Amino acid sequence: MDPAGGPGHLRSATVVLGVAGGIAAYKAAELTRRLVEAGAHVCPVLTESAERFIGAATLSALASEPVRTSLFDEREPIPHTSLGQRADLVIVAPATARVIAAYAAGLSSDLLVATLLATRAPVLVCPAMHTEMWEHPAVRDNLATLRRRGVHVLEPDTGRLAGGDVGPGRLPDAARILEAAEAALAAAAGRRQDLAGLRLLVTAGGTREPVDAVRYLSNRSSGKQGRAIAAAAAERGAEVVLVSTVPAEPGPRLEVVPVETAEEMAAAVAARAESADIVVMAAAVADFRPKAPAAVKLKKRDGVPEIVLEPTPDILAGLGAAKRAGQVLVGFAAETGDVVGEARRKLQSKGADLLVGNDVSAHEVGFGWDTNAVTILSRTAAVEVPLSSKREIAEAVLDAALLELRAARGGPPGRQGEPQT
């Protein structure tokens, strides 16, 4: 067991400990000692006003490196970038209203805030201030902004404050800060980047096949599962193109190509499939479309129209027929009867590597729901994923696709275990 009593992420981690100018700054000495005992390499950074509350000599003696306070240190020309890059974790304890505001606004007015802006390491902010300040909307809003950006915030304790008042605003004790630090490091380590260097092409949503100028044939697909797969893949480091009939937010490494019909989807996929390592056809592509859609709105007074249907291009089967070695094709089968049997048949007939079968007649499963339950079939195995969020199903589908890719290429693809930046 390590001295922190935690899982040991702090052991040999480089921790920049930012100390801002509040009365709780004196507690930074104890925190530094505990971090060093937990095996961390601690680099303390004090704001100018923190130095009024705690002597730099005290912290320098307890920490692994001498205290830094200035952006303009003659020995180290750009201390904030080197500190930010070296850090595995930045802790700000105590964090004052000013430092929180400067960090949220991106105002690199001192070494501490400049380091916070220059780092890609996880950041743990531990606010400590008088209750009135803690409850001020400006502070609340700034913390909400930081949280939204992925900063970890440890809420202050309620208790006796400077001046004898009692209320929320006290810096939690060192043991709690260490626990939160372990959790922040664990969360960062848990973010997989196992799809980095890979290209994914994902389709989502039901296609809409025009009947006339205003009507179309479609299905109940919401596109949620396809969107979840695209988002999860981008977060795991892949370059993703999402061809979708439903609106989707583009993001870092996530391009969205809007389409409507099976024909448009087929063209968008054809133009991008060649360079894709993994293609996931999660879209519910219409199997038939009106042969001759009317260019104008059909009128009721002209009688009930006879709509002649013709088959749409089977995109997945086309990709399966033209599949290049080392590419993984994933299809979906939304079924109402023998789901696994149908999925197995489609795995063969479409030339896919994986077929994800789901029973769309079951409650909370498939079309429209936020949850799903699927069987992921490969040529050699069947993995049952019980009722889970579409995000969790997405992760399971990506895990299976990555396994197939590794097997097809005879080695690990992309870069493994890279930390998320």
Residue from 243, 283, 401, 402 in contact with ligand C5P (CB under 6 A): 283
> For residues 91 and 286, which CB has a smaller minimum distance to ligand C5P in the complex?
286
Cα 74 to Cα 1, 117, 148, 161, distances in angstroms: 41, 21, 36, 38
Residues 412, 401: Cα–Cα separation, whole Å: 12
Here the tokens at position 213 are 């100028």
Half-sphere exposure of 242 (CA within 13 A, CB side): 29
User: Does residue 343 bind ligand C5P (CB under 6 A)?
Assistant: no
Look up residue 60 and give its amino acid. Answer: S
> For residues 341 and 417, which CB has a smaller minimum distance to ligand C5P in the complex?
341
- Min dist. Cβ of residue 350 to ligand C5P (A): 6
> For residues 127 and 331, which CB has a smaller minimum distance to ligand C5P in the complex?
331
Please, are residues 205 and 226 in contact by the beta-carbon 8 Å criterion?
A: yes
Mark whether 358 is an active-site residue: no
- Min dist. Cβ of residue 259 to ligand C5P (A): 12
Instruction: Name residues contacting ligand C5P, limited to 214-273 (CB under 6 A).
Output: 262
- Min dist. Cβ of residue 371 to ligand C5P (A): 20
- Min dist. Cβ of residue 14 to ligand C5P (A): 46
Here the tokens at position 261 are 């019909």
How many residues contact ligand C5P, by CB under 6 A? 14
User: Does residue 285 bind ligand C5P (CB under 6 A)?
Assistant: yes
- Min dist. Cβ of residue 342 to ligand C5P (A): 7
Residues 346-375: x/- map of binding to ligand C5P (CB under 6 A)? x-----------------------------
Q: Considering only CA atoms, which of 183, 341, 208 is closest in space to residue 263?
A: 208
Q: How many CB atoms lie within 10 A of CB 164?
A: 6
Q: Which stretch binds ligand C5P (CB under 6 A): 77-85, 112-120, 138-146, 326-334?
A: 326-334
Residue from 103, 332, 367, 369 in contact with ligand C5P (CB under 6 A): 332
Instruction: Name residues contacting ligand C5P, limited to 79-98 (CB under 6 A).
Output: none
- Min dist. Cβ of residue 228 to ligand C5P (A): 15
Residue from 188, 243, 281, 347 in contact with ligand C5P (CB under 6 A): 281
Residues 316, 299: Cα–Cα separation, whole Å: 36
Active-site residue, selected from the candidate residues 142, 219, 358, 372: 219
User: Does residue 51 bind ligand C5P (CB under 6 A)?
Assistant: no
Q: Judge residue 245's burial from the number of C-beta atoms within 10 Å of its C-beta, 0-12 exposed, 13-18 middle, 19 or more buried.
A: buried
Place of tokens 């396994």: 403
Residues 273, 327: Cα–Cα separation, whole Å: 9
DSSP 287-324: SEEESS--SSPPPGGG-PPPPPEEEPP-HHHHHHHTPP
DSSP 8-state secondary structure symbol assigned to residue 248: -
**What is the phi/psi pair of residue 261, to 5°?**
-100, 165
User: Does residue 287 bind ligand C5P (CB under 6 A)?
Assistant: yes
Half-sphere exposure of 17 (CA within 13 A, CB side): 34
> For residues 16 and 280, which CB has a smaller minimum distance to ligand C5P in the complex?
280
* Strands of 328-335's sheet in order across: 254-258, 239-244, 199-204, 278-281, 328-335, 354-359, 371-377, 382-389
Cβ partners under 8 Å of residue 64, min gap 6: 36, 40, 41, 42, 43
Q: Which stretch binds ligand C5P (CB under 6 A): 31-39, 54-62, 214-222, 330-338?
A: 330-338
Please, are residues 119 and 92 in contact by the beta-carbon 8 Å criterion?
A: no
- Min dist. Cβ of residue 151 to ligand C5P (A): 39
- Min dist. Cβ of residue 152 to ligand C5P (A): 39
Instruction: Name residues contacting ligand C5P, limited to 293-322 (CB under 6 A).
Output: 312-316
Here the tokens at position 411 are 């080695």
Residue from 333, 347, 354, 377 in contact with ligand C5P (CB under 6 A): 333
Q: Which stretch binds ligand C5P (CB under 6 A): 97-105, 188-196, 331-339, 371-379?
A: 331-339
Positions touching ligand C5P (CB under 6 A) are 262, 281, 283, 285, 287, 312-316, 331-333, 346
Catalytic residues: 219
